[in-house]
Structure 1
């Protein structure tokens, strides 16, 4: 790779739009960036017309002039394919390239991401502009990498064009071969939905109840993912034919209805993410209440990115207030928050951080999405803070190339992520548990990873984790069940929540005794199950003296086999006395089945009783508002302490370490300012 993510140092960049500014500002801006500590700019993701103003007529002069200047000044460049915003000539002449809503109404020119992936015309035109850019600009010395499109599946991640209908039929023919196979997988005998001709098969369409076949919907989301991945892969293959060998290929995200892991494996060198913690303070999104994680919740998003690329880049990092003229009214980051959010990204594995944007745009929808500089470009508080960030990260070279450390993992898979979107019963338990587990882990200072499971996953991939939670794997197959059995048999601890393993991979309910394919592993029989009634008293659980409330749903459990034990019972309502938690010795390890969804208290108790909460308690004591993250690699181990409160906090170091900002050895009581950060080198 070139310059960034090489494991030697941390690098800052910014997003720049030369097409927005007079050329006489370019050199001043680039030199000023370098003086601020910014070495890389990303360009061109919305600039198709600067190269192809009319169909088939190419002019490379505009970006040649900019790249000449970048090479003169010494700024490196990430060049983007501009396919997120097809030009007006294209959408007017070829309206088939446009996406549509469920009723077939086209999304017209005037915004962005209004195309569909499956239009043969758009595939051709996108391939052509990508080829022209890669051939012409690929050899340029200042270019170090390529970004494909921009934010795949952002804003619109459903597609209903005629091209998508045709592509969906092909997708289903390849998957099921025959209509008989499709009808069986989709359960079309229900409500007389049987298909007798492929032309009868469409994308999900409007129904009077807004309810569609759930098995069709699940395949539809799989289809969207496959379509987006193919679109990215075509561009990646073109770029790789013409780029310099050392230059990387990436894209920025991550967004829904997309197997981001498979996309990265197929097409990218690493993933980059767009991190906007200030969404937590948008007036039209703000949730009050002290229990909310607010901007700290972005650590959960960064954990998702890290599951794709353990060391990654941030292509767009919050630097100013975010907002469009239509929504997202938000305050500017307070003093210290820009630094906090940058270090939040680095703590989770980012070796490259690029701020969005250099100058705040004076035109268009994003006139309120502020960058480092305001409209005038005057010196301001934010650019001073970026300079301070640069001085800090120069001292954090030992973190570069190192990876985040976690003993706890939360298993996920795309089939269940998408099923939880399709199925309201699944969605409620999943939402509760995912939010609770991540919040409890954050507040108990228990670092965790997301670990994505697929049919090809080897149990060795899971073996590094002392405890794995798999909250609600509603869909399961034999391959995945066998991987989980091997992980436990080899000594792992695996925890399931309610509603596990009651569907096959088509989304149809199984007729086996529940929890189906997990029955042997968990030593559990589910006698009865129900949502917790809205008029019910609190359903309490007692786990050997620890009491907590069940959430959303209850499976009533009974142990099966000599190795299984009931560890907790329900103590209220008609559930009283029924099993709430089963543990089962399986090989060298242990599987647990919890009959409810998690809330923050129950998640804390699980972390504590399973012996994985607060793994760094012997190193440091910090209040709940402070996040702990540790990155470790060949150069050593460093601990990041991040204070999300706007007030000073006291921390206590129990072991001697080196403050990497100051170079001083420290131990004992320390003060961390409001929104303050500290990075400590820990002894081996």
Structure 2
């Protein structure tokens, strides 16, 4: 069972940096926060230089004064351990704590995330500052919890300091025991890479490393981060067991599920939906834009069903040299806030109270502008605060409801970072499924397949999409088979099942361990890229000319008469050959597509399945509206979020009440641009 935050009501907070402002502003800041129904502040995660201005000299008086005043105003405090930004005295005196580039050049002080997790000295000094900090603040009545570090692996998720190479060797010795085992796992007989001494081993420092080394490197980085976080979590558990412990992500090369299971009370996330709008493809038809951020929130929910958003976007984002975002339009901050709440957030903390007037983030705007005068962002957050006060006790603790799930796993995600023969397919397929489900108002969950995943974990979903699991074990294939037999519908895709856990290719017909389950093998294949064209598809029994089989084309060969051909290729040299198959197994079905999933293909499949919105009999809404349900045993609440910049009309077929306004709704209901409704079902 995923660990979840435990809140009695939806709670609003804000990131606060008192060290950036004259002390004379604090009281007015706290007064205005309370007027806006903000009851939590998060601070101190970048404060090491203040807390330990000289080595071994500590001063905790500043934040004590801040928390004393915050407590007077009824504000609760989340403290961040400051290890994301070591002070200059530390990196100057102990350069071995610095991270290094792939070329081995030390990354100098001046930014953040410029340290490495492996340095014994950095671990020692991190433990010391955390122990002293927790001792200083553990009994303060305002403190409710701790955030470990800040955004592990953000900006830098590869490490090449000498300490990292040494730690990697230790990790490899523990994993493999002998060099013979390592050489076999890595296939080092290829290109005469065989290792004869542990000291010959290094983290990858070439653009095209041994792929099996590269996969293990990411596993090592994840374990190394978790071991660094554990040093801090253990201190907090020892000294302040009454406080909860979390950290904020998601970033690369870190198994957040494992870290949460082993160290945290729940996981936290930093939600900036406008990132999706900044990097979208201009040529895309009906783009999701900021709505795409729901994919990330869905992934977070697989770690903690109910979670904290430690940083919620409250203004335009940008550093002085990158990440340019326009100002959120009126209503978007509120919309994004409820996007987070729909997907499981019970504690929502805005970034930040006031925009910094100095430093790298002077353009990463908060609720208040530099001038500190009222603005529309302040008014919009105050509206959310008032609404949380009204509905918060009803919504908190309810959970997102879905019968469809995307499945993925860290091994394939990490292996796919370098492998262009399967890596790009994952995002293409997941996004296509998510997009079409969104536009049809069908909620979806995310599952990360792990060693402890059980049939019970899978069986609660009617449909699971696990599209391009190149790394596939026989044990996983057996679990998937049992899922299908008990009634599930499983969707697989090109490049499934041809690698083992080391990333080596099986000497068995594709799709390897699940070939028998699917009742097919792959007769021929081609990567679709450049001048190699994607074939078109022809669905059996209906017209579908022009639909492309994108990303990869596998020519399927039916081996079991129970496997039915659903679509064939209609162009290219494999014209007429099977492209999409379906096999009934027990009470369920397994589908195999010899390509990546595209929006038209997903639409065709959804039509075949007859999947519809869980609210189809009660609410009809245009595609621009995201619909989801949070529910408990006793109550259900439908969230309707309009991502359009224009008003839309929703048809309410059975009378319901909008909790935000208290209005009874029936028949045609107008939603404003970026409007939100929370309906009691």
TM-score by length of 1: 0.96
How many Å separate the matches in 2 of 1:169 and 1:611?
53
**Contact 1:641–1:679, Cα closer than 8 Å, also in 2:** yes
**Contact 1:323–1:369, Cα closer than 8 Å, also in 2:** yes
The CA deviation string for residues 45-70 of structure 1, in whole angstroms up to 9 with x for no partner, is 00012111000011111111111111
- Name the SS of the counterpart of 1:166 in structure 2: helix
Shift of 1:537: 5.6
Question: CA 1:517/1:16 → structure 2, altered by over 3 Å: closer, same or farther?
Answer: same
The CA deviation string for residues 62-119 of structure 1, in whole angstroms up to 9 with x for no partner, is 1111111112221100011000000011100100100011001111111111111110
The CA deviation string for residues 161-205 of structure 1, in whole angstroms up to 9 with x for no partner, is 000000000111111111111111111111111111111111101
Matches within 5 A, 1:220-619: 220-245=217-242, 247-282=243-278, 287=282, 289-397=284-392, 398-532=394-528, 534-535=530-531, 539-544=535-540, 545=542, 547=544, 548-619=547-618
Provide the residue aligned with 2:211 in structure 1: 214
Matches within 5 A, 1:32-71: 32-71=32-71
Question: CA 1:138/1:647 → structure 2, altered by over 3 Å: closer, same or farther?
Answer: same
**Contact 2:436–2:602, Cα closer than 8 Å, also in 1:** yes
- Name the SS of the counterpart of 2:324 in structure 1: coil
Shift of 1:144: 0.6
- Name the SS of the counterpart of 2:40 in structure 1: strand
How many Å separate the matches in 2 of 1:537 and 1:328?
34
The CA deviation string for residues 638-668 of structure 1, in whole angstroms up to 9 with x for no partner, is 1111111111001111222111112222121
How many Å separate the matches in 1 of 2:614 and 2:557?
33
How many Å separate the matches in 1 of 2:223 and 2:5?
28
Provide the residue aligned with 1:132 in structure 2: 132
**Contact 2:534–2:553, Cα closer than 8 Å, also in 1:** no
The CA deviation string for residues 592-645 of structure 1, in whole angstroms up to 9 with x for no partner, is 111111111111222232232433222211111111111111341111111111
Provide the residue aligned with 2:648 in structure 1: 649
**Contact 2:440–2:623, Cα closer than 8 Å, also in 1:** yes
Provide the residue aligned with 2:673 in structure 1: 674
Which is further off, 290-299 or 593-602? 290-299
How many Å separate the matches in 2 of 1:333 and 1:435?
24
**Contact 2:568–2:578, Cα closer than 8 Å, also in 1:** yes
How many Å separate the matches in 1 of 2:406 and 2:370?
43
Question: CA 1:598/1:184 → structure 2, altered by over 3 Å: closer, same or farther?
Answer: same
**Contact 1:657–1:667, Cα closer than 8 Å, also in 2:** yes
> 1:153 aligned to 2:153?
yes
Which is further off, 606-615 or 331-340? 606-615
Which is further off, 382-391 or 287-296? 287-296
Question: CA 1:467/1:528 → structure 2, altered by over 3 Å: closer, same or farther?
Answer: same
**Contact 2:277–2:289, Cα closer than 8 Å, also in 1:** yes
**Contact 1:138–1:244, Cα closer than 8 Å, also in 2:** no
**Contact 1:358–1:373, Cα closer than 8 Å, also in 2:** yes
- Name the SS of the counterpart of 1:313 in structure 2: strand
How many Å separate the matches in 2 of 1:412 and 1:421?
14
**Contact 1:319–1:382, Cα closer than 8 Å, also in 2:** yes
**Contact 1:467–1:612, Cα closer than 8 Å, also in 2:** no
How many Å separate the matches in 2 of 1:71 and 1:395?
23
Shift of 1:17: 0.5
How many Å separate the matches in 2 of 1:229 and 1:529?
40
Question: CA 1:477/1:352 → structure 2, altered by over 3 Å: closer, same or farther?
Answer: same
**Contact 1:108–1:114, Cα closer than 8 Å, also in 2:** yes
Structure 2 residue runs without a partner (length 5+): none
**Contact 2:471–2:501, Cα closer than 8 Å, also in 1:** yes
How many Å separate the matches in 1 of 2:240 and 2:450?
32
- Name the SS of the counterpart of 1:111 in structure 2: coil
Shift of 1:289: 4.8
Shift of 1:431: 2.5
Shift of 1:483: 1.3
How many Å separate the matches in 2 of 1:305 and 1:533?
32
- Name the SS of the counterpart of 1:640 in structure 2: strand
**Contact 1:281–1:331, Cα closer than 8 Å, also in 2:** no
Shift of 1:482: 1.6
How many Å separate the matches in 2 of 1:75 and 1:33?
9
How many Å separate the matches in 2 of 1:31 and 1:652?
42
Structure 1 residue runs without a partner (length 5+): none
Which is further off, 579-588 or 592-601? 579-588
How many Å separate the matches in 2 of 1:633 and 1:115?
44
- Name the SS of the counterpart of 1:485 in structure 2: helix
CA RMSD of aligned residues (A): 1.5
> 1:117 aligned to 2:113?
no
The CA deviation string for residues 321-364 of structure 1, in whole angstroms up to 9 with x for no partner, is 11100112222111101100001000111011100000110110
Matches within 5 A, 1:627-646: 627-646=626-645
**Contact 2:314–2:377, Cα closer than 8 Å, also in 1:** yes
How many Å separate the matches in 1 of 2:7 and 2:516?
45
Which is further off, 22-31 or 143-152? 22-31
| Number of equivalenced pairs | 674
Matches within 5 A, 1:151-190: 151-190=151-190
Shift of 1:536: 5.4
**Contact 2:534–2:552, Cα closer than 8 Å, also in 1:** no
Which is further off, 147-156 or 477-486? 477-486
How many Å separate the matches in 1 of 2:96 and 2:260?
28
- Name the SS of the counterpart of 1:569 in structure 2: strand
How many Å separate the matches in 1 of 2:212 and 2:582?
33
